[in-house]
Amino acid sequence: MAELRFRFIELALRALGPGSPSRELARGELMDRLAHADPAAADDTLEMASARLERGNPRPLRQAALIFSGLLALLGILSMLWTDAYAEIKQLNPHYGFLGHKVRHQKEMEERLSRGMDSEQRLFLFANTRYADLPEVLEWQQSFEQEMPSDPAWLEEAILTSESRDRLLLERLDKFGASLEPDNGFWDLLVALHSKESSPFFEAFTKPRVESHLPARTKLRMEMLGTPRTLAEQVEQGFFVFRQRSWPPQEISKHYIDYTRADNLEAWAESKKIWESWAFRLQPWGSRDTEIHKLLDLDRMAMVMGGHRGGRGQWVDAERFKRVRAVVSRFRALSHGFGTASPPVTDFRREASSIVRNNADQALPGTFTAADFTPGRLAEHAVSDRYMAVCGASLLAFFALAAAFEGWRRLLPRRGLAAGLLPLFRPADVAWTFCLGVLLPFAWHLGITRFTPLGCRHIGLMEWDMMPAMQQAAGSLAFSVCMLQQTLRWRLARRMGVIGLRSPLLWVGWVMAAVAALFVPLIGIVGMLTRHQEPFLVLGSSMLGIPLLWIVWRAGITAVQPQETSFEGILLSRLLVPAYTVAAAVLLLAVPSLQREEQAWVARDHMSGPARDGSLMLQMDAHALASVRAALAEAWQGTSTDPLPAP
């Protein structure tokens, strides 16, 4: 027995040089441990342990080089991901405000959007953009004051750019545009807008067409930008559309309303023709707000027209206008009032993406279904999952660095002894650690968040400022860390029992892991509550604090252990370094699939992105406006089934 023990000690001390003082110190500690060991408590006998050590060949320098290379590669990948993430956050910032709403990064956005374009293309792309800071645009804005553009489309944008300048200049530009396109009544509308006169307004609708060039040019600009593939590109293009200048139709319609209120209806047929053109012939040529104002103007104009003609006995036309007003009122009631500052929260707002949610006061229920919101909502969740994966991998990389430092800073005798005994750790132990510490938490998180309502993916990401998503990700990460530590402590107790190593109070760690695991579905209950959701999220976070405090407590115990009792901490730290590194690598492997998932959902999203028809609206708004136009046409033609108010 003494010979077997001597052989085991010599094999365990191979990592330390022969004859060194460190070797002798490690020999004394190992002999003391063997003297107090209980052979019945170990999985291996001393003979089996010696055989495993003999087959193993500890090379501390080689192992350290491999671990250092793995950590260096992990940190390099994370640094590249965070660099890309910061650039993406700047693209998302105009809508989400992660960096503050005053930080626009406008110059970078213009450079990204115009990448690969020549000077003429950049000028066309940003000629109608507010606050564009490109030399081509600034030079063009200064040039048209001396020489008016001969192209009507460029002239119209020149007038828009000059909105804050001399009114006489604007009138001169308007009349010059009318001479370029005498058959286009749109120039007469602009003359009415800038001259404050009503007569050009009525002359406009006597022309063969009343068309703005902005929709066609905006549509061409959107084609130049291409279809957005990611949420960041969708937000960036949406902000580009938001910065486009547009005409205020509500200002133009005032001329018509004032004119009709003055009872100046000598030419009733002509007035009705003007109203029909305003309601059905004018295509969308403004932003969402201007089109909504135009709809409100239709309501007021219909009231004026219906009131005048009803008083003169022409009830057929009066009933038509009443039908129109009934349709407008119905849509206004459904949307809780167009343009309201604080619309009530409804179910469809909870299911929508934050882009749609911020415009929900103009959304029209009945013009969409719940399934229409799914792609935009899940695209945001995919982006959130990707950032959570990168954040989780970064934390695990930090834990790996901390464990590497803890294993390195201890005295050489114990570090060498730990390196010599590591071959006792079997491949089966590695499998246990990987399955329980990495795969189980990963599968648990996916199962809860992806396949049950407790994942809150049926609710918009920003419903509670991302709190459920972040809390569930933190719970799963804490679950993984607890399981990695507990599994390694459990397996070390079994493999190192031959030298008397014990890990007391293992059950406490298992309880902490279970608490962290149960926290993930518990937070998901918030999606089923009808009230007090935010207090539930705040108070529920205290549950996660219990395993987090245990993790901090374990790290503190390991860090402050005296050198004489640090052997178990050294072994655990050496094993935690590759464990944390592998767990971080698994999270990073999920990043490309989450990017593809985001792109797939963005491609299917027909609500959140900018409309491609040049109307300066979201796709949701363009769809809603088309529904309103169809309902108005039905009401005007008398085919609507809406109940009519009493004449």
DSSP string, 498-522: GGT-----HHHHHHHHHHHHHHHHH
- Residue 346 or residue 475, greater confidence: 475
The answer to which of 76-80, 388-392, 529-533 has the lowest mean pLDDT is: 529-533
Burial of 543 (0-12, 13-18, 19+ CB in 10 A): middle
> Do residues 420 and 14 touch, judged by C-beta distance below 8 A?
yes
How far apart are the C-alpha atoms of 301 and 308, rounded to whole Å?
11
pLDDT in tens, 338-385: 433 334 434 567 788 888 777 655 555 556 777 888 999 999 999 999
What's the confidence (pLDDT) of residue 340? 39
Q: Strand, helix or coil at 336?
A: coil
Reading phi first (left if > 0) and then psi (alpha if -120 to 50, else beta), residue 103 is in: beta
The pLDDT tens digits for 313-336 are 444 466 777 777 777 776 665 554
In order of 285, 348, 601, 611, the CA distances from 617 in angstroms are: 10, 19, 20, 6
H-state helical runs in 410-532: 412-421, 427-434, 440-451, 467-495, 506-524
What is the mean pLDDT of the segment spanning 254-265?
A: 50
Confidence class for position 51, pLDDT limits 50, 70, 90: confident
Give residue 253's pLDDT: 56
CA 589 to chain centre: 20
Question: Each residue of 412-432: pLDDT tens digit?
Answer: 888 888 888 888 888 899 999
Distance CA 279, CA 273 (A): 10
CA–CA distance from 434 to each of 345, 385, 428, 486 (Å)?
Answer: 45, 22, 10, 12
The pLDDT of residue 261 is 47
Q: Name residues whose C-beta falls within 8 Å of residue 90's C-beta, 6 or more positions apart in sequence.
A: 99, 103, 105, 108, 109
The amino acid sitting at 199 is S
The mean per-residue pLDDT over the stretch 71-81 comes to 94
d(CA 278, CA 254): 12
- CA distances in angstroms from 120 to 126, 139, 140, 431, listed in the order given: 10, 12, 11, 61
Three-state DSSP class for residue 643 = coil
pLDDT at position 136: 86
Question: Which two structure tokens, joined as six digits, stand for 385?
Answer: 């999952």
Q: Name residue 239's amino acid.
A: F
How far is it, in rounded angstroms, from Cα 137 to Cα 142? 9
Helix axes 249-261, 268-276, angle to 10 degrees: 160
Query: What pLDDT, in 10s, does the model give residues 86-127?
Result: 989 888 888 787 776 555 677 888 888 888 899 999 999 998
Summarize pLDDT for 18-31 with one digit per residue, the tens: 777 888 888 888 88
pLDDT of residue 255 exceeding 60, the answer is no
Helix (H) or strand (E) holding 253: helix 249-261
**C-alpha atoms less than 13 angstroms from C-alpha of 444 in its C-beta half-sphere:** 25
Give tens-digit pLDDT for 289-310.
555 555 555 666 666 555 554 4
Q: How far is Cα 623 from Cα 625, in angstroms, rounded to an integer?
A: 5
What phi, psi does 184 have (nearest 5°)? -105, 110
Closest CA to 363 of 376, 378, 375, 352: 352
Between CA 55 and CA 57 the distance in angstroms is 7
- The mean per-residue pLDDT over the stretch 391-418 comes to 89
Q: What distance lies between CA 188 and its chain's CA centroid?
A: 45
Decide if pLDDT at 552 tops 90: yes
Least confident of 150-154, 409-413, 424-428, 642-646: 642-646
Please give the structure tokens belonging to residue 624. Answer: 């809603």
Instruction: Give the pLDDT score at 620.
Output: 80
3 state SS of 66: helix
- Specify the DSSP class assigned to residue 525: G
Least Cα distance to 465 among 526, 525, 515, 518 occurs for 526
What are the two backbone dihedrals, phi and then psi, of residue 504, each rounded to the nearest 5 degrees?
A: -70, 160
pLDDT in tens, 175-205: 888 888 888 888 887 887 777 676 777 777 7
The answer to whether the beta carbons of residues 401 and 71 sit under 8 Å apart is: yes
Residue 339: the pLDDT is: 39
Task: Match 């330390």 to its residue by tokens.
Answer: 16
Q: How far is 46 from 4, CA to CA, in rounded Å?
A: 7
Give the C-alpha separation, 88 to 80, whole Å.
12
Tokens describing residue 601 = 């959902």
Which of 531 and 457 is assigned the larger pLDDT? Answer: 457
User: How many CA atoms within 13 Å lie on the side-chain side of 305?
Assistant: 29
Residue with tokens 């300048």: 165
State the Cα–Cα distance between residues 147 and 116, nearest whole angstrom. Answer: 30
CA 576/CA 570 separation, integer angstroms: 10
Using 50, 70 and 90 to split pLDDT, how confident is the model at 279?
low
- DSSP assigned state of 297: H
- What pLDDT, on a 0 to 100 scale, did the predictor assign at position 228? 93
The residue written with tokens 């902490």 in the block is 512
Q: Are 309 and 317 in contact (CB under 8 A)?
A: yes
